[in-house]
Amino acid sequence: MKFIHIADMHFDAPFTILSQKKDLGDLRRIEQRQVFKKVIDYIKSENIPYLFISGDLYEHEYVKHTTIEFINNLFKEIPNTKIFITPGNHDPYIKNSYYSTFNWNDNVKIFKNEIEKYEDENITVYGYGFGDFTNMGIDIEKINIDTNKINILVIHGSIDSSKTLDLQYNPMKSYILKSKNFDYVALGHIHKTNYAEGENIVYPGSTISLGFDELGDHGMIVGDIEKNKLKIEFKKLDDREFIEKQLDITDIYSKEELIQTINSQQLKEKNMYKIILIGKRNFEINLNDIQKSILLDNIIKIKDKTQSNYNLEEISKEESLKGIFVKTMLQKLNDENYNKEEIEKAIEIGLNVL
């Protein structure tokens, strides 16, 4: 039995950082649609009977009615494919959600905020959706499965997390999931593809990258499952990558030279870049001024991780105004009552003036 597993599509996400740079936010929302159509086209071409969508299909706060219609019209193109959607924390099944108010196509099953199951001749699909924007978890141990069938769980949440924040998003223990002997667990919530070879508990990652905290390839899981036999592979769908590129500025001595160096970077036009400045800085860096002077549209963000090129300990020993200034500021730097970054910036500005 073949299937497709996707998650965390986040249709109509605001793409806040991209939207500050011309029309890139709108462009990325168009690319969401293009990538989703690739999923549907693949299902049509390969006659895939099952599609599992493990939460956060859309952004409840931002999604447009026309986007929901776009999604559902694509579902109509694959009438012989059974589609299972489990709402997540960004698209919970609440009173005014499109899951509740929209007339979805007949081949779509949307799981509510209780454990439900769909039974076919050889397969049982279990699902559980968020009923609000947070969810403190469910008792998966209560699920009783028929071991003679193929059993699949479609669910959104965090696995084995110790972070307090993650405990609000349907926390689950992997050992409990394994103990239930599901043949496949279709997860969502973590935006990075995550599964071990031979394992059947799978995060496909976000179908399309949403920003610089989601580096690497993005796409879908293509699976073929029989009882006690599973074959899965990751298929890349997103043609655009978000990439972090380091730039050592130790040998750069002016803002103008830095801007020229950034503008001369050899970058792939299709990708989005964050330039991370590293090394020793020889002048004060104002990121806003630099960003305004960047000519390459796909440089979305610049981050300063440089260190001052001054030997502060040596300067503090000087019997001069500069020495007195640095000595005083170093005392503040070691004082927990002061903000370290602000003091470091003040030292740099002061030394430039002196």
Cβ(10)–Cβ(59) below 8 Å? yes
CATH number attached to the domain at 2-236: 3.60.21.10
Give the model confidence (pLDDT) of 293-322 as tens digits.
999 989 999 999 998 777 788 888 888 898
CA distances, 10 to each of 131, 189, 255, 344 (Å): 17, 11, 38, 39
User: Whole-angstrom Cα distance, residue 222 to residue 105?
Assistant: 23
User: Cα-Cα-Cα-Cα dihedral of 272, 278, 282, 287, to 10°?
Assistant: 30
Domain ranges of the chain: 2-236, 242-306, 310-354
From 22, 36, 39, 10, select the one nearest 211 (Cα to Cα).
10
Q: Say whether pLDDT at 197 is over 80.
A: no
Percent of the chain residues topping a pLDDT of 70: 100
User: Whole-angstrom Cα distance, residue 177 to residue 76?
Assistant: 33
Which class for 310: exposed (0-12), middle (13-18), buried (19 or more C-beta within 10 A)? middle
Cβ(141)–Cβ(180) below 8 Å? yes
Tokens of 314: 């040596």
Q: Which residues contact 220 (CB under 8 A, 6 or more apart)?
A: 4, 5, 6, 39, 42, 204, 207, 234, 235, 237
Percent of the chain residues topping a pLDDT of 90: 72
**Whole-number pLDDT of residue 314:** 84
DSSP assignment of 35-70 equals HHHHHHHHHHHHT--EEEE-S-SB-TTT--HHHHHH
User: Whole-angstrom Cα distance, residue 211 to residue 16?
Assistant: 10
Q: Say whether pLDDT at 95 is over 90.
A: yes
Q: Which residues contact 112 (CB under 8 A, 6 or more apart)?
A: 93, 129, 131
Tokens of 268: 């792939």
Q: Say whether pLDDT at 34 is over 90.
A: yes
